[in-house]
Amino acid sequence: MITAPSVAQLSSRFEEAFGTAPDGVWQAPGRVNLIGEHTDYNEGFVLPFAIDKTARVAIRVRRDSTVRMLSTYGDHGLVETDIATLEPLTAKGWTKYPLGVVWALKQRGIDVPGLDLLLDSDVPLGAGLSSSHAIECAVILALNELTDAGLAAEQMVLATQHAENAFVGAPTGIMDQSASLRGAKGHAVFLDCRDQGVQLVPFEAEEAGLVLLVIDTKVSHSHADGGYASRRESCELGAQVLGVPALRDVGVEMLEEASGLLDDVTFRRVRHVVTENDRVLQTVELLSSDGPQYIGALLDASHVSMRDDFEISCQELDVAVEASRSSGAIGARMTGGGFGGSAIALTPARLEQQVRDAVVIAFADAGFTTPDIFTVTPADGARRLA
Ligand code: ADP
Ligand code: MG
């Protein structure tokens, strides 16, 4: 597990690399989606929360249009480019995320100056915890301030989506950056993806004697792969045949009729989205009225729906979910876009070790790579640190 250096350490790393102190340090968290998967681009509901793992960027504005970028992670070396030459889909590696934000701001007529930027992140990469949006949100928060652009959170959400969709080339929605920018300690972010309406819902697992375990299967997922795009296409087709603007407009009570109008695969994709939206609403109600110890069955049902109807799980995710459930977790599901990444397991704190051990043993028995298992708690959204 990576431990985050202090702000002072980060500033002195910056000074070593670039010769001067940064103008400031900004931080943005990764996120875990508690429930509501593949509902965002269907204009539906999601319930993610910002986690206590963050990307931090130290930035100094330059007088020219050069951007120099360095990450404390891995062995990437200093990357240098010129703002005037930014072209969608051409940037390589991690720098496409900060550069995508610069590009998206420029597209909005904001005059972004050259920058020196040092990234330090302890959000696991490619684990479904949105390490990419953590970077983008830290950068956009910094640039919003440094350029006096005055963008509201909703506009920053759309700008980072534009960066991911058009510049990076990942067809992602608005969930990840909304959680990262708008999250709050002890709360999940109930987001209506149709109008960006946000309601903070108390999610205090610890107080209920629970922990939320993240099981990173280490199976890498990629949005560039066909699976994600083909699910989006099925959803669009389903909405078109059913004559609604988006699957958000299909209620559970309409599913029976829909089954007669859609082919089997499209119907199952639609059924996942429609029932998942309903599960998000039920989860929000239960969290507000009764507490996190009552949402286990909804997490389980969400996983079954993704495994059987949406078909975006994989063996490792299924083993993680089954092993945690059979060793004491009260609910578990894969989280994130699917085809790998992480599962979450809501677990009584006193059974945490038992569940961890059971998952590790099940992975070993199946011949899978040992998973990374850690707990996350709902943390504050993006902010300036120094
Ligand atoms: P996710 O957002 O679910 O973690 P993505 O594929 O969208 O997965 O983003 C992961 C990519 O983000 C990595 O391949 C890497 O390029 C980049 N990345 C994330 N954090 C860092 C970091 N600290 N240093 C360098 N690159 C990073
Ligand atoms: Mg990502």
For 79-128, the pLDDT digits (tens) are 999 999 999 999 999 999 999 999 999 999 999 999 999 999 999 887 88
How do residues 147-204 score in pLDDT, each as one tens digit? 999 999 999 999 999 999 999 998 888 999 999 999 999 999 999 999 999 999 999 9
State the CATH architecture for 7-200. Answer: 2-Layer Sandwich (3.30)
Structural domain boundaries in the chain:
7-200, 205-375
Q: Is 73 in the pocket of ligand 1 (CB under 6 A)?
A: yes
pLDDT at 114: 98
> CA–CA distance from 287 to each of 206, 294, 296 (Å)?
13, 8, 11
CA gap 254, 250 in Å, rounded: 6
Cβ contact 86:99 at 8 Å: yes
- The answer to whether residue 221 scores a pLDDT higher than 90 is no
- In this chain, the answer to whether the domains covering 7-200 and 205-375 adopt an identical fold is no
Mean pLDDT over residues 281-287, rounded? 98
CA gap 25, 7 in Å, rounded: 7
Q: How far is the centre of ligand 1, averaged over its atoms, from the C-alpha of 89 (Å)?
A: 16
Closest ligand 1 atom to residue 164 Cα is: 7
- Residue 274 CA from chain centroid, whole number: 21
Mean model confidence pLDDT for the chain? 95
Q: Is 209 in the pocket of ligand 1 (CB under 6 A)?
A: no
Record the pTM. 0.94
Ligand 1 pocket mutation pick from 56, 79, 94 by most atoms within 8 angstroms of CB: 94
How do residues 16-58 score in pLDDT, each as one tens digit? 999 999 999 999 999 999 999 999 999 999 999 999 999 999 9
pLDDT at 297: 98
Q: Is 331 in the pocket of ligand 1 (CB under 6 A)?
A: no
Q: Taking each helix axis from N to C terminus, what angle separates 96-107 and 153-162, rounded to the nearest 10 degrees?
A: 120
Ligand 1 pocket mutation pick from 1, 79, 132, 339 by most atoms within 8 angstroms of CB: 132
Q: How far is the centre of ligand 2, averaged over its atoms, from the C-alpha of 331 (Å)?
A: 25
Ligand of minimum distance to the alpha carbon of 69: 1
Closest ligand 1 atom to residue 341 Cα is: 3
What superfamily does domain 205-375 belong to in CATH?
GHMP kinase, C-terminal domain (3.30.70.890)
Q: How far is the centre of ligand 2, averaged over its atoms, from the C-alpha of 264 (Å)?
A: 30
